[in-house]
A and B are shown apart, each in its own frame.
Chain A
């Protein structure tokens, strides 16, 4: 019954980017808030947006670039059409996560942290989804999956490749 969820993003547009920045710039400590909002709209944080954020917050470009590159979440370029995240932390390791990660890498033909050549699937590690009592766990485009096993993983990979 699970509907296939297609994340959809707007193409980068400077005017739209400026609006998003202006909407959030008045908050205290707004840098992360703005970067999140930009990524939510465009699927990544376009290089061209960095100086715009800096200007709006009266920061240097280097400072904003530093924040942008510090956090694992922010993307430099769009991800694949689907993003499959596999938890690689200890609780999932204890429950057979290593073998499942290797299986996903083999099925998709890319190591964790990469996107397939056809741009369909980005395969990423994640360090803990907080589903440690139903490990191993995964997330496909925001949808959570617990008690992952070979069968469930294969179904997820197939769904992501569609």
Chain B
């Protein structure tokens, strides 16, 4: 008897024991004289079910999870005798949480072997690039523009316009830079795609290269993601061997090469100009804009700098056409967004869906509320610079403009859930503290404002002149919002002000009533 099993090698699965389970499966099978092939995939993104073990059957893959080492013998028994098992989840594709998603970017993640170029190609990989090579620059730009794709890093700038600007720039060298400095807490989509479908990122960047006339690309990955660094390096090597990077890619006249660079623990380097400084080997100080990186980017040359998810959306758009992508979504937010459900949540993970789903659906329905079982009180959307939303705003649709209209942002699509034990004073304080720790120091509102913010919120927490200090914090937030050079100082006010606005009761001490003498 021979079996084909799938166990994730995603860092999130490994952190809860996937390596141990894979090893136990291998050893137990060997002991029984059963031949097993264990394919280490990316993650399907259902983290409460990790480590997830899938088995190939003629009817498709069947899933079991969450599996521990102790479950391995009984699991092999069940597989051998074709009987049921307590952890059996049925056909993977039919699991409702997965089935209700629209996976365009994450279609292959968790399915294929991320180390295998052949597996990538067998599942539709490089179709987009092949079409791009036949289209040429102008037609690719038209497709990307028509898809309505906006930068998935957070700012939501139209990708087609950015690419066109670089394509039209005249220079001896141009660069493609992938921002994989995914520092926002509550986000892990970049990590997942780099670990689970790295060729997708390479294909997207290569397409950008041939479109704008760049022959060199860099992927800047944060040092906190060693598994992603390893996966991207392995994929780049395989793509070079397979003729998809280097000279004459895919047999064409184009050349494109890629290199991974590793960050060094600075959150601000997720800001694009700071990232470029870091890539050039300097302190990650934010640059004033203009000039835009599209004109004056890496080493002073025209540069396309996009987030991992933006590049990862490109192959689908080119393979299936702009309309197939733009048909999803609402308003000016077209296509799908890989949303990440995190924090105190029962069903946390990666949920890719068309724009327009409401925050309440995502948190209560998809996420299943908190894992502590206590009521959801606040959710922070969009990372450390995103606003805290109360239940009263759960009807907000997931859309760039709708969130902006409610003084929030969708950012990189992370949603962090808090239960009713949260003290919003601490969260407001932390937002300022994080800004103080991570500020690059170039502009005063961010560098000094964040430290004064921590101090003032601490006074409020201690109950010192609360209403005056609250007014001071609001004033300070305005200064930071309008006076900072980049989003770190400029957006730190979002979590602070939203906490003040929607959770005012946490900041105002309960009226002290005179206690009757005992």
Contact = CB atoms under 8 A, between A and B. Distances in A.
A binds B: yes
Interface of A: 1-2, 28-33, 35-36, 57, 63, 66-67, 70-74, 89-96, 126-135, 137, 142, 144-147
A91 B186 contact: yes
A133 B188 contact: yes
B265 A89 contact: no
A145 to B, nearest CB: 6
Given A91-B416, A134-B12, A29 B299 contact: yes
A41 to B, nearest CB: 15
Most buried by B among A2, A67, A127: A127
Interface string B396-437: 000000000000000000101111001000010010001001
B131 interface: no
Nearest to B184: A128
Interface in B127-184: 182-184
B28 interface: no
B393 interface: no
B11 to A, nearest CB: 6
Given A32-B261, A127-B185, A94 B422 contact: yes
Interface in B186-239: 186-188, 191, 223-227
12 contacts: A29-B282, A33-B281, A57-B281, A73-B264, A89-B186, A92-B185, A95-B344, A129-B15, A131-B11, A133-B188, A133-B345, A145-B15
B343 interface: yes
Contacts of A147: 15-16
A35 B344 contact: no
A63 B469 CA distance: 40
Contacts of B20: 1-2
Contacts of A92: 185, 343
Given A32-B281, A134-B15, A72 B264 contact: yes
Contacts of B79: none
B342 A135 contact: yes
Contacts of A91: 185-186, 342-343, 414, 416
B318 to A, nearest CB: 28
A94 B418 contact: yes
Given A74-B264, A91-B342, A130 B11 contact: yes
Most buried by B among A36, A66, A94, A130: A130
B80 interface: no
Contacts of B333: none
Given A36-B264, A70-B266, A94 B283 contact: no
A66 B188 contact: no
Contact of B283 (A29, A67, A93): A67
Contacts of B283: 66-67, 70
Nearest to B367: A133
A137 B15 contact: yes
A71 B267 CA distance: 9
A144 B185 contact: no
Contacts of A130: 11-12, 182, 187-188, 191, 224-225
Given A94-B422, A130-B187, A134-B348, A73 B281 contact: no
B50 interface: yes
B261 A33 contact: yes
A45 to B, nearest CB: 11
